[in-house]
């Protein structure tokens, strides 16, 4: 039986920071892989990637019943996140890249996939529940970040998140944060890019529309109107 390597850290990893979590994670992965924007020759910015993914957007629904009406507004990630990482997928595909989504049913399985990616020199993007992080995360339920190292001997996981510096948390904290709600529970994504990325293209890939038509549905004794607005 092969001996388990306790410490796996991507050599020379130094890519951190960002504002919007999906765009920041992709920016940091592309920078480590040496991928640059064809029109500038420089690393992609998270602002550019955010725009390629569709830019600003929001979801909403209005709940109306007898004597009560409420408007609920949500961010794009809340409305677009499904069993596939839609927003991250759009950014990657519009550059000619490809995402490989890996799912696990438990923490040991997820760790094996993360370790395999690190062994191949590929920084994995992992989804966590921000409420389980030992530092302030995003206010919604889906928070992707980059894992660039695991030190089992020290019981630590090394992360690249929106902070300008590396973040280190315990393995126990990391496993706890991974156990968020479906669909991103124990989910890992690997990014593959061509040698020469496509010129940034804002058109939806594979015929995917950038918005969701408004729909109406009955909810209890009231009526709910819902939909999505995309820039």
Question: Residue 59's domain is classified under what CATH number?
Answer: 3.90.70.10
Which tens digits make up the pLDDT trace of 49-106? 998 888 877 777 788 888 889 987 766 555 445 567 888 888 999 999 999 999 898 9
Q: How high is the pLDDT of residue 212?
A: 37
Per-residue confidence at 211, pLDDT binned at 50, 70, 90? very low
Give the separation between CA 15 and CA 25, rounded to whole angstroms: 10
Number of domains in the chain: 1
12 located within any domain: yes
Q: Which residue has the higher pLDDT, 198 or 88?
A: 88
> Does residue 41 lie within any of the structural domains?
yes
- At 76 the pLDDT is 59
Q: What is the pTM of this model?
A: 0.78
Is 64 inside a domain boundary? yes
Domain that holds residue 71: 7-205+216-225
**Helices (H), ranges, the chain:** 21-32, 46-52, 76-80, 86-93, 107-119, 171-178
């Amino acid at each position: 039986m092969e001996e388990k390597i306790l410490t796996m850290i991507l050599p020379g990893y130094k890519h951190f920071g960002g504002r919007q979590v999906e765009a920041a994670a992709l920016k940091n992965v592309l920078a480590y892989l040496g991928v640059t924007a064809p029109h500038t020759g420089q690393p992609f910015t998270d602002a550019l990637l955010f725009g390629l993914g569709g830019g600003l957007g929001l979801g909403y629904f209005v709940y109306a019943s007898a004597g009560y009406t409420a408007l609920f507004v949500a961010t794009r990630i809340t409305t677009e996140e499904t069993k596939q990482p839609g927003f991250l997928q759009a950014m990657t595909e519009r550059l000619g890249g490809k995402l490989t989504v890996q799912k696990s049913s438990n923490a040991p399985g997820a760790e094996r996939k993360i370790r395999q990616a690190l062994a191949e020199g590929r920084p994995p993007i992992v989804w966590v529940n921000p409420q389980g992080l030992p530092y302030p995360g995003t206010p919604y339920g889906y928070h992707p970040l980059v894992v660039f190292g695991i030190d089992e001997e020290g019981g630590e996981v090394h992360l690249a998140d929106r902070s300008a510096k590396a973040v280190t948390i315990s393995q126990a904290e990391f496993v706890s944060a991974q156990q968020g709600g479906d669909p991103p529970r124990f989910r890992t994504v690997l990014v593959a890019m061509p040698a020469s990325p496509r010129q940034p293209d804002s058109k939806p890939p594979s015929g995917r529309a950038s918005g969701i038509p408004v729909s109406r549905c009955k909810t209890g004794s009231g009526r709910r109107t819902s939909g999505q607005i995309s820039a």
